[in-house]
Amino acid sequence: MFKRIFRRPGYGVLALLFCLPTGLSPVAALAQQTDPRALADACMSCHGMDGHGQGAIPSLAGLDKATLLKALEGFKAGKGDATIMNRIARGYSEAELDALATYFSSVPAK
């Protein structure tokens, strides 16, 4: 992703200008621009609209952020039962997992 962004004319300079005043690395700065709702859209196909699951797949809405983040990090590390989540979580950065946990913990449970 990093290379893809910096290959586009002007994007590298823009990202670096954003990073300099904040003291962030370009990668960290890009991770902070993560849109949690956009990330969560991918989860909703299994976990239901806004994380309100139905049936065997658990609901994510309203769960504690620390609990969600611990579970996501565990999936990413390959711990626990081998489910599709072990493979899915590996595709997310730590900042993206944090954004997902923040988003779903902010959605009221039904």
pLDDT tens digits along 1-55: 444 444 445 444 444 334 444 454 454 455 555 688 889 999 999 999 999 998 8
The structural domains of the chain, ordered by start, are 1-33 (no CATH), 35-110 (1.10.760.10)
**Closest-CA residue to 40 (of 66, 64, 72, 15):** 72
Say how far apart CA 106 and CA 61 lie, in whole Å.
Answer: 7
Q: Is 51 exposed, middle or buried (0-12, 13-18, 19+ CB in 10 A)?
A: buried
- Residue 9 — left, alpha, or beta (φ > 0 → left; ψ -120 to 50 → alpha)? beta
Is there a contact between 84 and 41 (Cβ–Cβ < 8 Å)?
Answer: no
**Residue 35 has what pLDDT?**
85
